[in-house]
Structure 1
Amino acid sequence: MEIKGEKFKVIVKTNSSKNEVVCYDEARKAYRINLKAKPIEGEANKELIKFLSREIKRKVRIVSGFRNKEKVIELF
């Protein structure tokens, strides 16, 4: 997964069989990501941060979209 810039958009699908980056959606300019976690009490957001940190090897945080499937992620 190669990231250009300090912020990027993701579209999350929860309750999947495994955590994975599926593809880059050119039309929406966002990465599609599947997560095992369910969207209950922020579990999917925690799993997303942990997963992306491991994939990118940098710290990340969610800037917007805490309760949506579309999120803006910031690298730091």
Structure 2
Amino acid sequence: MALLKIKVKPNSKQQALQKEVDGSFTVHLKSPPVEGKANQELIQFLAKHLGVPKSQITIKSGLSSRHKFVEVPDVNP
């Protein structure tokens, strides 16, 4: 399993994934950061982008923060 450092930007016009210079990722999501909607969209987006089941993606820390550590199976995004 790999641990990704992700900065989430909710309420964006489009979904997008950007790799930053420091090796972390910025994910733009359409959902608002209300009642876990952005977290659910993040898991769905990463699962689709990485081609893995949603059940294999876990937010390890940062559930209520824009900065998250997400555990994913070993694949190259």
Per the normalisation by structure 1, the TM-score is 0.84
Q: Which runs of 4+ in 1 moved over 2 A?
A: none
Displacement of 1:62: 0.4
**Deviation digits for residues 47-75 of structure 1, max 9, x if unmatched?**
00001000001231100000111100101
Q: How many residues align?
A: 70
Higher share in strand: 1
Long gaps (5+) in structure 1: none
**Residue 53 (str. 1) matches residue 36 (str. 2):** no
Measure the CA separation in 2 of the matches of 1:57 and 1:65.
23
- Out of 1, 20, 45, the residue aligned to residue 25 of structure 1 is 20
Measure the CA separation in 1 of the matches of 2:36 and 2:57.
16
User: 1:71 — aligned with what?
Assistant: 68
- Out of 11, 15, 21, the residue aligned to residue 15 of structure 1 is 11
Displacement of 1:32: 0.7
User: What RMSD over aligned residues (CA atoms) do the two structures have, in Å?
Assistant: 1.3
Measure the CA separation in 1 of the matches of 2:8 and 2:68.
8
Long gaps (5+) in structure 2: none
Q: In structure 2, the residue corresponding to 1:73 is in which secondary structure?
A: strand
